[in-house]
Amino acid sequence: MNRRLITSMLSDRQIEDLITKALEARETSYCPYSRFRVGSALRTVDGKVFQGCNIENAAYGGAICAERTAFAKAISDGHRRFVAIAVACDYNHFITPCGICRQFMNEFGKDLEIFFVNDDRSYRRAVLEDLLPYAFGPENGPLK
């Protein structure tokens, strides 16, 4: 199903909850090198929400983004199916996931809704498939 042109699968209340949790998750960000705090909140199909933050490293390449932190927490707790993720940074800015995160998230479903959250709680919404067109995913690799 192509969900790009239709409205969110989430209710307004669920969207607001995800926004609150993404903004809150910034507080735990470990970002002494960039000073760019990012928080995320990932909702599973059964309604659980996992929060994530970016975690940087003295060896800069070892950093992990807020999006992948939330996915790692959820997957390692046994969840594989997700409906949406909200991402927020500290600025008046609609942050969008980096290329590594887009590929990482695509493994678990190109239908994922992504909410880019501004400091004032306003947001933009996209579907992962539109952020990573012609993706190489599990249906193309050795699992196909």
Give me the residues that bind Zn ion (CB under 5 A), please. 65, 98, 101
Single out the residue of 3, 24, 28, 31 in contact with ligand DUR (rule: CB under 6 A). 31
Q: Which of 16, 27, 67, 139 is catalytic?
A: 67
Would the annotation count 60 as a binding residue?
Answer: yes
Residue 30 is labelled as binding a ligand: no
129 counts as catalytic: no
| Residue from the set 15, 22, 42, 66 that interacts with ligand DUR by CB under 6 A | 66
E strand map for the chain:
38-44, 49-53, 82-89, 113-117, 123-127
57 assigned to a ligand binding site: yes
Rounded to whole angstroms, how far apart are CA atoms 36 and 113?
Answer: 23
CA 4-9-13 angle, 5° bins: 130
- Find all residues with CB under 8 Å of 125, minimum gap 6, and list them: 8, 113, 114, 115, 116
Residues forming contacts to ligand DUR in the complex (CB under 6 A) are 31, 34, 36, 38, 54, 56, 63, 65-67, 87, 95, 97-98, 101
